Structure 1
Amino acid sequence: MDLKIVGGDLAKAKTPCLILGVFDKHKLSGPAEAADAASDGAVTALLGKGELDGGKGWLMAYDIPGIAAERVLLLGLGKRKECNRAAFIKALGTAFGRLAEARVAKALLALPKEADDYLGVRAAALKAAQSAYRYERTKAPKKDAPVLLAELDIWVDKPARDAAERAVAHAAGIAEGVALARELGNLPGNLCTPTYLAERALALADEHTALSTEILDEDAMRELGMGSLLSVSRGSREPAKLIKMTYQGGDDAAKPIVLVGKGLTFDAGGISIKPAADMDEMKYDMAGGASVFGAVLAAVRMQLPINLIGVVPASENLPDGAANKPGDVVTSMSGQTIEILNTDAEGRLILCDALTYVERFEPALVLDMATLTGACIVALGKHPSGLFTPDDKLAKELADAGDAADDRVWRLPLWEDYQQQLDSNFADMANIGGRDAGAVTAACFLSRFTKAYRWAHLDIAGTAWVSGKEKGSTGRPVPLLAEVLIRESGVETTG
């Protein structure tokens, strides 16, 4: 999508559609007031006919006198005092949907002062770009499909121009990352295999000189002692891959941030097989890995002055004569042994070896993302991702970044009290901790492999995709990760 910041006289702007905000009781946003003045009160007159009384919804008007735009979309923003960034972006979803139905491919958005800052501009631009995503890799486009928005100009007041330009540039990079994560997630498991992910990582490195990729095959992982990870791939004909993507945007001496994402390209549960209903959605079990791809691409496109390493352990989890069996004991790269009580708790088995592997990079911070537990959905629903970390300061930093990116997290406990649920009579630990607090004990399991560095775990089982009629990948938590990387890089966003 072509995103651009513009200024000047709104009334003279030639565009297929000018989007203006209106609050409840027909109170106009600043740009709408300017348009109303230029039209000699035509905007107010339209509203006086009873439209948008509650401050929600939209009204499309054509050929307004004094306005050069072909049409004006008046967008209800609700009560002015309640119009925070999240509410504004939600309203924009309505606007972009209406543009698609009206087959409008280019528009001009005039931001109200409530959203006229770096984060507001970035969120609006990102929302526009995300509205233009459509999955078509394995299906023919519908002949009557809505037109995708191809160009969006964003009007801001002159004092906010510099921050707005930076916001749009960042939004474009984040949007590319989100789109990549969504596309990888939406691909079926017979196409998006561990080998495919490895090839896609290599292709990204070919496309971007600042990025390099290394792929470890099963022999290399065996030499490293990754017995836990390799135990999962034994039940599949698809060989496992450990994907390492390195972006060197900072000083050579600067310690990297490391992102680790679960890359289960399909999870049938192994011998502890899942129920048949909705099992197709287990192609999304690699959403953590997809978000690493997306965050790395976003950092590259934003040219952040930061060193970043993305690691994706990729495998399938299928039932087979060679697959893990309940009761098996495997040895992880860390040397700790694991009794496998449930083969469907495999994500932690591939993540633990990847988390041990990244110690060698002496990271400043490690974040892992995984569609790890249904228990997290039970606890939090599908709005925030679950956050686990023993570091209070890091927890607040991630929560603040999530709020800023409208990609929220909620912290759950990681208390020592829960560790005993992982006790095993036959190994150093079991891979499940029983029925109670399943998301917590999964995080406790991972914590045993992260003692050497600052670490947090994101359980994205509830946020990585949506089900039902609108089934598809969300691209989360790429916006959160991008916000974290922007903050860690020290890039100025307010000036």
Structure 2
Amino acid sequence: MDVVASRGFLSEFAGDVVALGVLEPEEKERLPELHESAKRIDSIVGGVLKSSVEAKEFTGKLGSICVYRVKEIPARIVLLVGLGKRSAFEDDVIRQAAGKACCAARELNAKRMAFCVDSVCVGGVDAERAGRLLTEGAILGLYSFEAYKSEKEEKQLKELHLLTSGDAKAVMNGAEKGEIIASSANIVREICNDPANYATPKKIADIAVETARRYGFKCKVLEKKDIEMEKMGGILSVSSGSAQPPLFVVLEYNGAGKGEKPYAIIGKGITFDSGGISLKPSQNMDKMKFDKAGACAVLGIFVAVSRMKMKINLVGLMPLTENLPSGSAARPGDIIKTRSGKTVEIISTDAEGRVILADAIDYAKTFGPRAIIDLATLTGACVVALGYECSGLMGNDEKLLAEIEKAGIRSGEKVWRLPMWKEYNEYNKSDVADIKNVGPSGGAGGTIAGGKFLESFVPKDVPWAHIDIAGTAWKEQAKPYFALGATGVGVRLLTAFFEEFK
């Protein structure tokens, strides 16, 4: 879909659909106030919108949408989209409005649609920010995974015009950034939605190589023999039950010159997680194709950073493997040696993500990073603790964590910090090895235990953050700008972080 910003009025737009946002009144007895662009339309179409509002057919409630078929203006349909109350307004409301409007327009078989930018410039949101948010919501909302459907969706919205009475150039600047962010997230969603019989470690590594070539960053793939030479015992242990050999993808982007230390981002890349010998229940095991979401996000972040030409240096690490049971698979009770030399007692083979990340974190130190950030669908306990609305955040550096929290608000990919007090160090203590891969029996503090395990492999004096995306990596219920399936979580969050963090 093409996005274009220009000065103009909805009433004059020669397309199929025009849309605008409407706030819900703070007091229930009051009626919504229509934006000037709606009033202009209403003066031409005979007061249809005002009559509808007065009849309380449309109240401006968040997520609501009302469709009006008209004949007196070039567009055949007007959409009013509810923004909710001003007191509860936040940036993400604009993404939701765009997603709802664009999906509704597509269902109405529209090809060209216009949205009034000025109608969502609420609460300090300027033209550039509105252009970015509308574009993000539109592109994210229109995505659907159709790779294996014989009959593709025929209805396609081809153009989104962002109309303003103000600074169209600012709107377009924001739209260009929004397109980069959302398209990068959609790349992640496409890979992450791919089932495990197609999205093998080899296929994902091949996609990484091609993506790096296309967008101008470096990509190196370590094969099994290289992983063995690096003595990555964690990855070798987890992969031992699979016929698919493990791979380790290394990405590099240099936008700040050779003298600048890089950030290192690491993503868990379990292309399918059966739990191994500690086999998961069959119910919902199909969702374990999403256990590669962290690694996919790393690739998407690189696309966004390179397209935005950010003045940073960045290293991305993607350990890729399946976790399957077989006669050669790792067993509960095994003791393995990781790349760092630290030994790990395997209590559960279903706590495999932290084991491959341990090797990746240790490998990251070879780049002398200024900070390490990992993304992983690490623990079901995080879903229990935080649900599906935010990711868990842990780490060892206050400034780093605080900036990621701020980026979560700006990006709409919210995080919530969990404690990492020294008392939790005991949770992973092993009687027979340096550390064990799960916390106390019964799962107490499971998310924190996972974070503490990873922390023990972080190089001394290196700021580090761990983002548990177990509850946010995919949707089982459609949302205003998310279809079912992978969300691409992490791309918006860390791109926003890199835009601001100094």
C-alpha contact (below 8 Å) 2:230/2:339 kept by paired residues: yes
**Structure 1 length normalisation: TM-score?**
0.93
Does residue 131 (structure 1) correspond to residue 149 (structure 2)? The answer is no
Are 1:484 and 2:497 matched, yes or no?
Answer: yes
2:209 corresponds to which letter in structure 1? L
1:138 & 1:304 partners in 2: Cα distance?
35
**What's the counterpart of residue 2 of structure 2?**
2
User: Deviation digits for residues 437-467 of structure 1, max 9, x if unmatched?
Assistant: 0000100000011133211000000000123
**Structure 1 residues 386 and 55: CA distance shift in structure 2, 3 A:** closer
Aligned residue for 1:454? 463
Does residue 436 (structure 1) correspond to residue 415 (structure 2)? The answer is no
Match of 1:150 among 146, 158, 161: 158
2:416 maps to which residue?
Answer: 410
Q: Residue 493 of structure 1 corresponds to which residue in structure 2?
A: none
Equivalent position of 2:186 in the other structure: 179
Say whether the 8 Å CA contact 2:22–2:60 is kept in structure 1: no
Q: Which residue of 2 aligns with 1:465?
A: 474
Match 1:384 to one of 390, 399, 420: 390
Question: Deviations for 1:162-220, whole angstroms, at most 9, x for unmatched residues?
Answer: 44222211111112211111111111101101111111111112222x21110011111
1:26 aligned counterpart, secondary structure: coil
Q: Name 2:286's counterpart in structure 1.
A: 280
The CA deviation at 1:9 is 3.7
Q: 1:285 to 1:372 in 2, by over 3 A?
A: same
CA distance, structure 1, for counterparts of residue 401 and residue 107 of structure 2:
41
Q: Aligned-pair distance for 1:141?
A: 2.8
**Which amino acid in 1 is paired with 2:458?**
T
Change (3 A) 1:402 1:163: farther
Aligned to 1:225: 231
8 Å CA contact 1:131–1:149 kept in 2: the answer is no
For residues 232-251 of structure 1, the aligned pairs below 5 Å read 232-251=238-257
- Are the aligned partners of 1:116 and 1:156 in contact in 2 as well (CA < 8 Å)? no
How many pairs does the alignment contain? 484
Which whole-Å CA distance do the structure 1 matches of 2:230 and 2:156 have between them? 47
Q: How many angstroms apart in 2 are the aligned matches of 1:478 and 1:11? A: 36
Work out whether residues 421 and 433 of structure 1, in 8 Å CA contact, stay in contact via their aligned partners in 2.
yes
Deviations 1:369-424 (A, max 9, x none): 00000000000001000000121222211111011111100000111111111111
Unaligned runs of 5+ in 2: 25-30
Which secondary structure does the structure 2 equivalent of 1:427 belong to?
coil
- What amino acid sits opposite 1:458 in the alignment? I
**Within 1, Cα distance between the matches of 2:317 and 2:165?**
42
- Counting only pairs closer than 5 Å after superposition, residues 155-304 of structure 1 correspond to structure 2 as 155-159=163-167, 161-208=168-215, 210-304=216-310
Cα drift, residue 28 of structure 1: 1.2
User: Structure 2: which amino acid aligns with 1:460?
Assistant: I
Conservation of the 8 A alpha-carbon contact between 2:9 and 2:165:
no
Contact 2:103 2:142 survives alignment (8 Å): no
What letter is aligned with 1:120? A
Partner of 2:57: 51
Q: Report deviation, 1:255.
A: 1.6
Counterpart in 2 of 1:109?
Answer: 115
**Cα offset, 1:100, TM superposition:** 2.1
Matches of 2:258 and 2:176 in 1, distance apart? 25
Larger displacement relative to structure 2 (337-346 or 245-254): 245-254
Between the aligned partners of 2:154 and 2:138, the Cα distance in structure 1 is 14
- Structure 1 unaligned blocks of 5 or more: 491-495
SS in 2 for 1:244: strand
Answer whether contact 1:176 1:297 (CA < 8 A) is retained.
no
Superposed, which structure 2 residues align to 1:87-102 within 5 Å? 87-102=93-108
State the AA in 1 paired with 2:204. L
Q: 2:301 & 2:179 partners in 1: Cα distance?
A: 13
AA aligned opposite 2:191: L
Contact 2:365 2:459 in 1 (8 A): no
Which residue identity does 2:14 align to in structure 1?
K
Q: Distance in 1 between matches of 2:450 and 2:341?
A: 19
Mapped partners of 1:337, 1:281: distance in 2 = 31
The residue identity in structure 2 corresponding to 1:156 is T
CA RMSD of aligned residues (A): 2.0
Question: How far, CA to CA, are the matches of 1:205 and 1:76 in structure 2?
Answer: 40
- Inter-CA distance 163–257: structure 2 relative to 1 (3 Å threshold): farther
* Separation in 2, partners of 1:63, 1:371: 48
Aligned to 2:28: none
Q: How many Å separate the matches in 2 of 1:89 and 1:151?
A: 17
- Once the two structures are TM-superposed, the CA of residue 284 in structure 1 deviates from its matched residue by 0.7
Give me the whole-angstrom Cα distance separating, in 2, the residues matched to 1:191 and 1:42: 52
Distance, in Å, in 2 between the alignment partners of 1:366 and 1:225 is 21
1:18 positional shift: 1.0
The reply to whether residue 401 of structure 1 matches residue 407 of structure 2 is: yes
TM-aligned CA deviation for residue 39 of structure 1: 5.8
Corresponding position of 1:320: 326
How do 1:50-69 residues align onto structure 2 when only pairs under 5 Å count? Answer: 50-53=56-59, 55=61, 57-63=64-70, 65=72, 67-69=73-75
Cα deviation, 1:250-288, whole Å, max 9, x if unaligned, reads 222222121100000011111111111111111111000
What percentage of residue pairs aligned between the two structures are identical? 36
CA distance in 1, matches of 2:93, 2:250: 38
Q: Does 1:474 align with 2:479?
A: no
Structure 1 counterpart of 2:3, one-letter code: L
1 CA distance for matches of 2:109 and 2:162? 19
Letter of the structure 1 residue corresponding to residue 456 of structure 2: R
Does 2:83 correspond to 1:77?
Answer: yes
Secondary structure in 1 matching 2:84: coil
Equivalent residue, structure 2, for 1:19: 19
Which of 52-61 and 198-207 deviates more?
52-61
CA-to-aligned-CA distance 1:70-113 (integer Å, 9 cap, x gap): 32212222334433322333333332232122111321110222
Contact 1:386 1:411 in 2 (8 A): yes
- Asked whether the 8 Å contact 2:192–2:289 carries over to 1, the reply is yes
| Alignment correspondent of 1:118 | 128
Specify the SS of the correspondent of 2:307. helix
Task: Compute the displacement of 1:322 (Å).
Answer: 1.6
Higher mean alpha-carbon deviation, 35-44 vs 247-256, is at 35-44
